[in-house]
Amino acid sequence: MTVPSQLDIKKREAKLKEFLKRLDSDGKPQEKHVVSVVRSAVRSAWLKSDVKLAYLYMNTVPDMDDSTRTKWLVPCEMCGKLFKLTDVEIDHRNGNHSFTKVEDFENYFTNILMVGFDDLAILCKEDHAVKTLSERLGISLEDARVEKEVIALCKQKASEQDKFLAKNGISGYSKNAATRRNLIREVLKNAR
């Protein structure tokens, strides 16, 4: 029989601390953590959903181009282009369901898993991200496309943002991040 080493004891104590952080003082789980675990479980179930997979299979078309290594393609219902299976996602037409407290569970479960074909759409990853941002911010799809570009540009260094603005005729006004963000948004909206 082996005896735990000091390292084994320290690892176990650290693990216990992790568990205890997610519990109340009386040992009950914190609602926030339980909701997070259950939300993840529902999302995992969605990945294997027969409705989702049947819908995807119903909408695939054979790729008859001998020069590609793809057997199946799927049309995006937003842009109409054909994509490989790995480049599309199944969207809930009525999305953006909140599940932040236990009372939200039934509604979340029903709206994620208990859906039919009419509740779904196949979107390329780019269009799905745009639609999700549109729903999350309560803005139009066109404004969401602009906002995605704004976000991407604002992740660059300030000097790169300034170069973008200068290239578009704006200089000397970008003293802080919020001002740059608004100017970038204005430039991109005007370019459409």
What pLDDT sits at residue 1? 66
Q: Are 131 and 148 in contact (CB under 8 A)?
A: no
What pLDDT sits at residue 141? 94
Burial of 98 (0-12, 13-18, 19+ CB in 10 A): exposed
Q: Examine the pLDDT at 46 and tell me if it is beyond 90.
A: yes
What pLDDT sits at residue 162? 87
H helix or E strand, kind and range, residue 134: helix 125-137
Write out pLDDT tens, residues 178-190.
888 999 999 998 8
- Token pair 């109340």 is found at 24
Rounded to an integer, what distance in angstroms lies between the CA atom of residue 115 and that of residue 152?
Answer: 33
pLDDT band at 173 (very low <50, low <70, confident <90, very high): low
The reported pTM is 0.78
Amino acid at 93: R
**And the tokens for 171?**
């200089």
Write the CB contacts of 25 (distance below 8 Å, at least 6 apart in sequence).
none
What pLDDT sits at residue 82? 96
Rounded to an integer, what distance in angstroms lies between the CA atom of residue 170 and that of residue 117?
Answer: 48
Q: Examine the pLDDT at 55 and tell me if it is beyond 80.
A: yes
| Segment 49-55 mean pLDDT | 97
Q: Examine the pLDDT at 57 and tell me if it is beyond 90.
A: yes
Q: Are 112 and 42 in contact (CB under 8 A)?
A: yes
Rounded to an integer, what distance in angstroms lies between the CA atom of residue 168 and that of residue 38?
Answer: 47
| Segment 109-113 mean pLDDT | 95
Q: Are 23 and 30 in contact (CB under 8 A)?
A: yes
State which of 66-80, 95-109, 114-128 shows the largest mean pLDDT: 114-128
Q: Examine the pLDDT at 140 and tell me if it is beyond 70.
A: yes
**And the tokens for 120?**
């779904």
Domains of the chain by residue range: 8-138, 139-192
